Structure 1
Amino acid sequence: MSKLVRRLRGAAVAGGAAVVTALGYYTTLDVQKKFELASATGPLLRTLDAEDSHRLGILAAKWGLFPRETRPDPDCLRVQLWGRTFPNPIGLAAGFDKDAEAIKGLMGLGLGFMEVGSVTPKPQPGNDKPRVFRLPELKATINRYGFNSAGADAAAHHLESFWKRVEHHPDIKPGVLGVNLGKNKLSEDAADDYAIGLMKLGKYADFVVINVSSPNTPGLRALQGRQQLQDLVTFVKTTRDNLDWGPGGPPPLLVKIAPDVSDADKADIAAVVAATQVDGLVVGNTTISRPGAVAEHPQGGEAGGLSGPPLLSLSTQVLADMYRLTGGKVPLIGCGGVSSGEDAYAKIRAGASLVELYTALAYEGPAVVPAIKQQLAECLARDGFANVADAVGADHKAAGGGLKRSRSWGRGG
């Protein structure tokens, strides 16, 4: 046996022993320590290319390397919406698990819900790389992914496999699952693309989201215009209503809008929501604006959508406007800039029934999920709210129908 082979064998034995020792130590930790340990790898991951780091995060969740939350959520965080029970209002936005590969691991973090996607009918590569840029001083990101997607058939395969596992292990899915639909870049019929996505993936979803707000697909945001949006939603909703969904009924249909909308756009969107009786709105997506310090950042000039704390103020204002324009009658999911329980609470007071995060998970790691939930429960108790539902739209009610600006809105300016 050569010296090299002996050395390699020795290294393998030593490495294996180290792994076994590390795993043995990990299993002795309590849940909170496991979350903290997982988050401690963040600085190492951020030495990698941003997209490679994102991919490693998906693989870690897929391979069961993320910690699993076993502590129950406080009753005050439970939300009833669309006939579904959300154990808490904190969800993961679309864009993290684009192809529905890692639902089990991500749900296991203790999320109340998550969206997979955006999924396009046909596979497409998205925009050229590099297409993701970190602004670490601001804990923000700019991306121009461009709906990179393995396609609806691949997502359907992953979703079907997930649900088969849930049948045998119901505890795998403590939260609610949404599917976010996109259109192919070269498609000439957006409505048909969304209808195809609904037909292929709707049966796997607790709710479905029509994404017309990504800034990285040419012409997509034009679908937010009043007539275009009404025609689109009417077509997709009619498609949904004509399908046989069985005893569970059809999935609720939501529309995801951009934060970069004018007052006239907001009024038009609210009118379409009323006319089509869509089940809810996700407010909003990434922004093409560059507020505050972002404009001066070396990466601030990159094309694409900005996410993270600099988006908080803008996205929460749009959320509040949509709550007011819809009379508080349409469930809203608040998304954009959430990185703390105070941020989530500000969204809820502005009108959100549910709240999504994304960039905070990339910067803070898995420990951000239990931290936000704990902080949110403390905010509710501090202000005398028995549950999330009681706090929804509280800023409007406190202002007598107007809007009382929450103290944490301005962080991202």
Structure 2
Amino acid sequence: MSQLPPLSLYIHVPWCVRKCPYCDFNSHQADRFEEHGKLPEQAYLDQLIADLEVDLPFVAGRPIQTAFIGGGTPSLMSADFYYQLFERLRGKLNWVDHAEITMEANPGTFEQDKFAHFRQAGINRLSIGIQSFQPNLLKTLGRIHNRDEAIAAVDKSRLAGFDNINLDLMHGLPDQSVEMALDDLKLAIELNPEHLSWYQLTIEPNTEFYRRPPALPEDNTLWNIQDAGLELLEQHGYSQYEISANAKLGRQAQHNLNYWRFGDYLGIGAGAHGKITLKNGEIFRTRKTRHPNHYLNNLPEALSIKDAIAPEDLPLEFMMNRLRLFEDFALKDYETYAYRAVPKEIFDACEQAVQQQLLDPNAWQKGIISTTSKGKLFLNELLELFLDE
């Protein structure tokens, strides 16, 4: 193999104003870490760069295609933090021209006032975590913004110069009807974002909702919400390209695409994960220590755990990612993204999937993997074919 997979960068900011009851991400309430009313921004910035320097030898000058700043709530940090961060990142990394750089942001007024500065720092895409526009559901979800602030956040992001915006919206919320879910979705569509992440609430371990489960809609209601919502999105030009993501034509999240296509990504920050391919064919995942204090108070080389992906596990790993995307792809993509020749096991599994009507036979004859409607509906059964091999 001569060409390594595309490379992205993930940056994790672990602090938020308040932990939401459904959230299982690595986030920590900010006021417990503040000194004199401020987060340890400079210390965290320095540690991010030191963290990056440990992983830099593995990527040997490869250009960064996309970057994503997640959390937590990254928009809690000051504009100066991001000016400094990207100035230092530009000195350490090669970047492609016009790289997509996304930041997750809360729609609260405090964060909105910084949008223009974030844009000037080099961030060119915002992902705004709205979740719902309805006061009762926002309260249930533990969100600290209201409907008007959510709408204003989109307006302010436009005024700040952002022409690439994602809105995060949830459905299947406690006691939510089909009409309530569609009302949320209709308002989000009216705000005219380029991208909509529309996904069902799931109850995850180690969350407040797991310890005290709320009353969720029945399965029939969930199915009707999903069916009607996807139809509404398609009617307004938001095509589903991934299980929980819809976008206008040509506005898919490039960072998401690289991730689900099994591309590489550096992960820095407390709790960040990464995936790196070496020229010798080794592929490994990295994960950084989760607690902010532990992250800040240890040498960078003590922060990272590296787990090699065994060659025999690659077919399943690759397909678990690629089949999340609703796009056809060439079987030869495996050679680029898994950085090795396509093994016979994948051919055999695809043949079985065609026989079971999970993959399109006409596309398969041309070396293209195209999931049928049945394959999308029974995705776990399709993936099991690669697990069995």
Shorter chain as denominator, the TM-score bin is: 0.3 to 0.5
> Please, what TM-score do these two structures have when normalized by structure 1?
0.39
The TM-score, its normalising length taken from structure 2, stands at 0.41
1 or 2, which has the higher helix percentage? Answer: 1
